[in-house]
Amino acid sequence: MSMGKILVVDDDNNICELLRLYIEKEGYEVIIANDGGQAVTKFKTEKPDLIMLDIMLPVLDGWQVCREIRKTSQCPIIMLSAKGEVFDKVLGLELGADDYVIKPFETKEIVARIKAVLRRVGGNTQTDSSGDSSKKEVSFDKLVINLTNYELKVNGEQVDTPPKEMELIYHLASNPNRVFTRDQLLDEVWGFDYYGDSRTVDVHVKRLREKLEGVSDKWALKTVWGVGYKFEVKE
């Protein structure tokens, strides 16, 4: 039985076949696309569990593919790139990528990252027939954050929220009044060590504030100047 389906997207067929060899050894099924157009089509038809996505692609580049997929799906995406600039990492994270790997890479590292990302998101997109025992939900005045279904409700109304914003607010609200640094949030929410500009956290917090500002006087998403952020709950 396959452990899951991985869509590998790269215009270098040698890289695709190398990744296929190592990923299939771990028990996953591998589908390959060599350009961004194929990637979007195969994503829709094959419904993979995770996407390994190169940035420099013909037809549509990796950023465009990521945007297209994020319009309809929370499928985990690991970006692949020969570029190591901070800008690329930040843009990838802001578009909703789950991880970022720089070429050249060790195949063992790729397999480890795939397993780590799938572990992190495991169960979030599947129905739990055993009941609510594993339900990830926190509630406050006029606010319900349900990470099992990726639903944010404000005043009883569902608010459209991208996956990473959901994971960030859930993480903060699950630890009320605890202050997190930006680096801690990148490591614990994005799930990998991130080096460089941490402004992507500020971008996500800003978007969350636009949705949550002034909803209740019993809690607030607060900036702790010089340190980071916290979800403040008033006694």
pLDDT digits (tens, 9 = 90+) for 4-62: 899 999 999 999 999 999 999 999 999 999 999 999 999 999 999 999 999 999 999 99
Show the domains of the chain with their CATH numbers.
Answer: 5-121 (3.40.50.2300), 137-233 (1.10.10.10)
DSSP-assigned beta bridge partners for residue 153: 144, 158
Residue stretches of the chain with pLDDT short of 50: 123-133, 195-196
pLDDT of residue 157: 92
pLDDT of residue 130: 38
pLDDT of residue 176: 93
pTM given for the model:
0.61
